[in-house]
């Protein structure tokens, strides 16, 4: 059976990002030139924020005290899971030392970066979970200094629950800043921050472009686009469950694609018939985004076999990949391109987005073909070292000199031959 598109995303013209690039370039140049003065000006213009940029220790305590106890316990639950998973990841990162040849010893070390900048999105939603995912992971990796920023709300600042999460996870400095100005402040080390070695965390297209432009000067977690999700399901899947899993991810934004890949025509038709009713049941803020995403970006793909379904999933390389099908071990072994994989009807991408532990900062737009998501590895440099005795140095010198001269690199050859002086008699 051929692969059939029962619903296909609308064809869009090639995205034109020149306006965003130009705007971000001007902002970064102004902040580079004027420093904190420019950041304050952008905070006022873009976020309506005239208050203090640095969240003081007293303001932290007050914000944490205002968070309801039940929400604190929920945040603590998620934090504990995220931390445990990050600690398990760190345990896989070994150091080593080996005698490569007699007298030549080489090794590998794992060294955390000195400072990290964690961006926590604001705007439509209060992304408590993004604070947990980025700051906790940096802390577990051993990063000595962590700055966190999030867009302040006019007259109020960063929402209390986000401050509580930042504080719980161990942010050393919290800044009332969003957008390009927040990214630039962390990169440059403004308002008492240490200049960030790496910038992490999701954000809007301006934030993503700022990180892209700064990459090289600083590290970044990844080039991120709109979030995307794909569900693979067979005849055993429940229509209501699959539809909610798709709709829930569509509410991220109008540009967030969701895809259903299935071997069941009945399931495909049932989901397509049910989706609008579920979207209509959402609050207005969520409904608008989900409606556009479903009607313009969603796809429903019917496959003749599970192997065909797996091939489609690997080709799309989704950020989130959910499998609701029989023989989950087969899918775990077969699938190879995804940011994070969710197996079985008992789990959902929503768990991964908020509380279950594995990081939710993941590759989008097909980047899962070649990279994974945020982890302790992103905050850690795997570096190598070597030393050798006189006998090994002599052997290396002779062979290095011959290879260097064959390459035409005479300076390398002479630097190597200087070590022949240490050859034992």
Q: Where are the beta strands (DSSP E) in 10-159?
A: 96-101, 104-112, 115-119, 145-150
DSSP 78-106: HHHHHHHHHHHHHHT---EEEEEETTEEE
Considering only CA atoms, which of 3, 1, 7 is closest in space to residue 300?
7
241 vs 243: CA distance, rounded Å: 5
214 vs 220: CA distance, rounded Å: 8
Point out the catalytic residue in the list 319, 360, 395, 410. Answer: 319
Coil, strand or helix at 110:
strand
User: Which helix H or strand E contains 131, and what residues bound it?
Assistant: helix 128-141
Measured in residues, the chain has a length of 425
| Active-site annotation holds for 319 | yes
326 vs 306: CA distance, rounded Å: 10
Helices (H), 215-348: 239-250, 265-280, 284-292, 306-316, 328-334
Q: Work out the angle at residue 216's Cα, subtended by the Cα atoms of residues 211 and 217, and round it to the nearest 5 degrees.
A: 85
User: Which helix H or strand E contains 232, and what residues bound it?
Assistant: strand 229-233
Yes or no: say if 174 and 135 are a contact pair by the CB < 8 Å rule.
no
| Active-site annotation holds for 412 | no
Point out the catalytic residue in the list 320, 346, 417, 423. Answer: 320
Helix axes 160-169, 57-66, angle to 10 degrees: 120
187 vs 194: CA distance, rounded Å: 8
Residues serving a catalytic function are 319-320
């Amino acid at each position: 059976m051929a692969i059939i598109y029962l619903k296909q995303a609308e064809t869009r013209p090639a995205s034109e990002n020149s306006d965003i690039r130009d705007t971000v370039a001007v902002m970064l140049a102004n902040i580079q030139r004027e420093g904190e003065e420019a950041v304050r000006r952008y905070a006022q213009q873009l976020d309506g924020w005239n208050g203090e940029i640095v969240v003081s220790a007293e303001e932290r305590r007050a914000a944490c005290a205002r968070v309801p106890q039940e929400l604190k316990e929920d945040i603590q639950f998620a934090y504990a899971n995220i931390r445990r998973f990050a600690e398990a990841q760190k345990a896989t990162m070994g150091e080593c030392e080996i005698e490569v040849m007699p007298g030549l010893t080489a090794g590998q070390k794992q060294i955390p970066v000195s400072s990290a900048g964690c961006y926590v999105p604001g705007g439509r939603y209060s992304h408590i979970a993004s604070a947990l995912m980025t700051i906790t992971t940096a802390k577990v990796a051993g990063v000595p200094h962590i700055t966190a920023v999030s867009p302040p709300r006019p007259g109020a600042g960063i929402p209390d629950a986000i401050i509580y999460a930042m504080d719980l996870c161990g942010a050393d400095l919290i800044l009332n800043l969003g957008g390009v100005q927040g990214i630039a402040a962390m990169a440059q080390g403004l308002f008492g921050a240490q200049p960030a070695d790496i910038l992490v965390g999701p954000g809007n297209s301006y934030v993503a472009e700022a990180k892209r432009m700064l990459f090289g000067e600083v590290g970044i977690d990844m080039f991120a686009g709109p979030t995307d999700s794909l569900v693979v399901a067979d005849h055993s899947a429940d229509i209501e469950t699959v539809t909610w899993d798709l709709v829930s991810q569509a509410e991220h934004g109008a540009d967030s694609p969701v895809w259903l890949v299935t071997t069941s025509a009945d399931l495909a038709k049932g989901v397509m018939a049910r989706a609008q009713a579920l979207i209509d049941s959402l609050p207005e803020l969520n409904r608008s985004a989900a409606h556009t995403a479903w009607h313009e970006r969603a796809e429903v793909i019917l496959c003749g076999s599970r192997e065909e379904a797996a091939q489609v999933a690997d080709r799309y390389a989704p950020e989130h990949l959910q499998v609701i099908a029989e023989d989950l071990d087969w899918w775990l072994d077969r699938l190879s391109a995804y940011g994070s994989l969710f197996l079985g009807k008992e789990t959902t991408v929503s768990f991964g987005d908020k509380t279950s532990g594995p990081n939710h900062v993941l590759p989008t737009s097909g980047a899962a073909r070649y990279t994974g998501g945020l982890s302790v590895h992103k905050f850690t440099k795997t570096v190598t070292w070597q030393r050798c005795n006189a006998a090994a140095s002599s052997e290396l010198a002779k062979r290095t000199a011959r290879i260097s001269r064959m390459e035409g690199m005479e300076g390398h050859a002479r630097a190597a031959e200087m070590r022949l002086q240490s050859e034992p008699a």
